[in-house]
Amino acid sequence: MSSRVLRAVSLLLLPVALWAASSYFPEFYHLYTPKVGHWSKYAITDSRQETATLTFAVVVQEGDGYWLEVRSEGEGGAGTVAFLVKGDPTDDRSVVKIRARDGEGPLMELNRATLEKLKAQGQQAFGRPALPIGPTLGKLQALADETVVVGGRSLRCQHIRIVGKDDKSAEAWIQEEVAPFGLVKLLSGEEQVLLLDFGKGAKPTLTGTPVPVTVD
């Protein structure tokens, strides 16, 4: 691969501290309900106390999949990567294509076959191993609903506790109005996911004719 292609692939490392069990998306308790044009912005702190700001925007529906643009801002810099997903994006198998651009260069596109080849070759394009932020599976305990204020708006949230293996637990505040993940707040020890803002009207920012990336 050329140096430009390698740099484009390296954009997949943007939220380097936060790629969890899924190679592509940070993993935390959520309800996935994609709605075109909806976006949500989070401040995330993982178990190493590394932080980043991630904005998830559902920008286009393509067939039975959705293009999600993820804007990452953190110590490693800032940038945007687009993912075509069919199903819950925290499951690697749901990711069909990835698009990224290096500066003013062409829009690069990696399809599923290319992604599998990169993994098989051991390419470091999928972030370093990390733990999920709080348990994502376990026993659910209903708590009293609570109102959480985000961006000056009051959101009446379902409040639950998730108790996972080894008795690790998290509390989550859920509001389906917040697409695509429905999460307003999650606290698990020193780990946290906090909704900073959300809204509608998101449009694609990675536009243009994509150049396919091929791997021998």
83 belongs to a structural domain: yes
Confidence of residue 179 (pLDDT cuts 50, 70, 90): very high
27 belongs to a structural domain: yes
Q: What pLDDT is stored for residue 15 in this prediction?
A: 43
Task: Kindly compute the dihedral angle of the four CA atoms of residues 108, 58, 120, 74, in this order, to the nearest 10 degrees.
Answer: 80
Q: What pLDDT is stored for residue 42 in this prediction?
A: 95
- Helices (DSSP H) in 84-196: which residue ranges? 112-120
Mean pLDDT of 129-152: 88
Which pairing describes strands 107-111 and 211-212: parallel, antiparallel, or unpaired? parallel
Position 18 pLDDT exceeds 60:
no
Please choose, from the candidates 67, 90, 95, the residue with its C-alpha nearest in 3D space to the C-alpha of residue 80. 67
Q: Could you count the other beta carbons within 10 Å of the beta carbon of residue 153?
A: 11
Position 130 pLDDT exceeds 60:
no
Question: Is 126 in the same domain as 155?
Answer: no
**Strand, coil or helix: 175:** coil
C-alpha 34/C-alpha 161 separation (Å) is 24
Question: Is 186 in the same domain as 162?
Answer: yes
Question: Is 22 in the same domain as 67?
Answer: yes
Question: Is 120 in the same domain as 24?
Answer: yes
